[in-house]
């Protein structure tokens, strides 16, 4: 990016047609946009496999220790989880609106939607933090001070095996923690996008960073869409 203005200067006619965001090794803007978006999709495939290992482990133990997992799952705050699901879905909407705003050159709307996305993202992390604190207070965080003494739902008088419940909580914290880490990275990306939008870098012709940042954000949302029922809703139908 840094050396393209220098190469573009000599020929005036060329300089006019040359988007400063077009990197030297691409022939056309279209090629650059396609490469960026394909790169992001492939990265998301990597992420699917990354989370996939965890989902696989979770599903196996959920099958083996169903009662214990149901008991552990009942102890997490489903209302908070549901609110967070709604927050994330709203944030995906604002991302889409932000891209639409860039495509239709509405700078004000673009800035507002990016900012709103970040607000939703922070709200999600805040609610998640409250949930984590509750688990910490209840000694449900795996480790030395872990204790779990709950009945298995539907089996009065039968208590969950704390070791198996600890596996649930270990996976719960690793999966939601990794998801939260992705949210934090996403907030970083959106802060950068907001800065770029503030400097009016995006045009209807060039807004690739918004699109690939948006893809990432949607992916992180979708992970949560799977995490929520798997972790919170094991046995809530009773």
Name residues whose C-beta falls within 8 Å of residue 125's C-beta, 6 or more positions apart in sequence: 180, 183, 184, 187
Query: Which of 9, 15, 17, 42 touches another protein by CB under 8 A?
Result: 42
Q: What is the closest distance, in whole angstroms, from the C-beta atom of residue 201 to another protein in the complex?
A: 18
Report d(CA 182, CA 185) in Å as an integer: 5
User: Is residue 164 close enough to count as binding another protein by CB under 8 A?
Assistant: yes
Q: What is the closest distance, in whole angstroms, from the C-beta atom of residue 49 to another protein in the complex?
A: 4
Q: Write the binding mask 54 to 73 for another protein: x where contact by CB under 8 A, - elsewhere.
A: x-xx--xx--xx--------
User: Is residue 17 close enough to count as binding another protein by CB under 8 A?
Assistant: no
Q: What count of other Cβ atoms lies within 10 Å of the Cβ of residue 114?
A: 26
Name residues whose C-beta falls within 8 Å of residue 222's C-beta, 6 or more positions apart in sequence: none
CA distances from 166 to 39, 145, 171, 173, 210 (A): 38, 11, 9, 10, 40
Q: What count of other Cβ atoms lies within 10 Å of the Cβ of residue 63?
A: 9
Query: Which of 18, 161, 191, 196 touches another protein by CB under 8 A?
Result: 161
Q: Please list every residue from 86 through 145 that binds another protein, using CB under 8 A.
A: 142-144
Query: Which of 5, 39, 129, 188 touches another protein by CB under 8 A?
Result: 39
Using CB under 8 A, list all residues that contact another protein.
Answer: 23-27, 31, 34-35, 38-39, 42-43, 45-47, 49-54, 56-57, 60-61, 64-65, 142-144, 161, 163-164, 166-167, 170-171, 174
């Amino acid at each position: 990016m840094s050396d393209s203005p220098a190469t573009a200067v000599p020929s005036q006619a060329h300089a006019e047609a040359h988007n400063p965001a077009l990197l030297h090794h691409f022939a056309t803007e279209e090629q650059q946009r396609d490469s960026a978006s394909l790169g992001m999709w492939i990265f998301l495939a990597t992420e699917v496999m990354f989370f996939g290992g965890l989902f696989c482990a979770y599903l196996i133990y959920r099958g083996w220790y169903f009662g214990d997992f149901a008991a552990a799952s009942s102890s997490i705050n489903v209302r908070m989880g549901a609110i967070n699901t709604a927050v994330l879905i709203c944030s995906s909407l604002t991302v889409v609106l932000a891209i639409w705003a860039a495509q239709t050159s509405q700078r004000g709307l673009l800035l507002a939607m990016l900012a709103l996305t970040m607000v939703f993202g922070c709200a999600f992390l805040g609610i998640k933090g409250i949930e984590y604190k509750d688990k910490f207070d209840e000694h449900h965080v795996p480790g030395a001070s872990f204790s779990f003494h709950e009945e298995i739902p539907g089996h009065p008088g039968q208590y969950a095996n704390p070791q198996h419940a600890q596996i649930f909580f270990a996976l719960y914290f690793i999966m939601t923690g990794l998801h939260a880490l992705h949210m934090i990275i996403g907030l970083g990306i959106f802060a950068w996008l907001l800065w770029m939008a503030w400097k009016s870098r995006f045009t209807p012709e060039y807004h690739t960073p918004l699109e690939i940042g948006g893809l990432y954000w949607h992916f992180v949302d979708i992970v949560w869409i799977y995490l929520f029922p798997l972790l919170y809703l094991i046995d809530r139908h009773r």
